[in-house]
Amino acid sequence: MRDRIAKFMAGRNGNDRLNLFLIVIGIIFIILGVVFRDSAGLLFNTLTLVIIVLVYFRMFSKNLSKRQTENAKYMEIRYEFISKFRLLREKWVQRNEYKFFRCPSCRTALRVPRGRGKIMIVCKKCGTRFEGRS
C-alpha cells in the first residue's frame, strides 16, 4: 500500500509550508464556524471548504514550478513577518544596554550603547548621518 501511495505521489507537489499554513487557517475557520452558528458561521464553513479544496489541489498538482513559486512567495512573506517580531524581541532583551534608532532615509534599525550622551549615528546600510541621544 505504501508503494502505491509513493507511486501515485511521484511527480506531484505533496505537502509544503504553504499547505501547512492553509491547514492551520482552515482549523481556525472550523472553530469559528462552530462558535458562530449564524450567517458568519456559514461563511467560515464555506471558507474552510474552499481552503480544503485548495490544499488538495496544491498537494496533488503536477505543476511543480508553479507550486514552488507560490511556496517561495509565502516563505518570503513569512520571513518578513517573523523578522519584524524577532527585531521587537531583540529590542526588548537588549533595552537596558542599547538604545535603538531608525535611519531617517532607509528605515534600517540601528542600535547604539546607552549612556553616551548626544552622539552622531551613521547608518551602515546607506551612510546617512544623524544625531541621537543615547
CB 13 within 8 A of CB 58: yes
Residue 48: predicted pLDDT? 94
Range of the domain at 23: 2-93
User: Does one domain contain both 73 and 131?
Assistant: no
Q: How many distinct structural domains can be found in the chain?
A: 2
Write phi, then psi, for 37 (nearest 5 degrees).
-100, 5
Helices (H), the chain: 2-9, 17-35, 39-60, 64-93
Q: Write down the pTM of the prediction.
A: 0.66
Separation CA 43–CA 117 (nearest Å): 57
User: Does one domain contain both 64 and 112?
Assistant: no
Residue 87: predicted pLDDT? 84
Q: How confident is the model at residue 70 (pLDDT cuts 50, 70, 90)?
A: very high
Q: Is residue 7's pLDDT more than 80?
A: no
Q: Is residue 69's pLDDT more than 80?
A: yes
User: Does one domain contain both 89 and 101?
Assistant: no
User: Does one domain contain both 46 and 74?
Assistant: yes
* DSSP run (H or E) holding 16: none
User: Does one domain contain both 128 and 66?
Assistant: no
User: Does one domain contain both 75 and 120?
Assistant: no
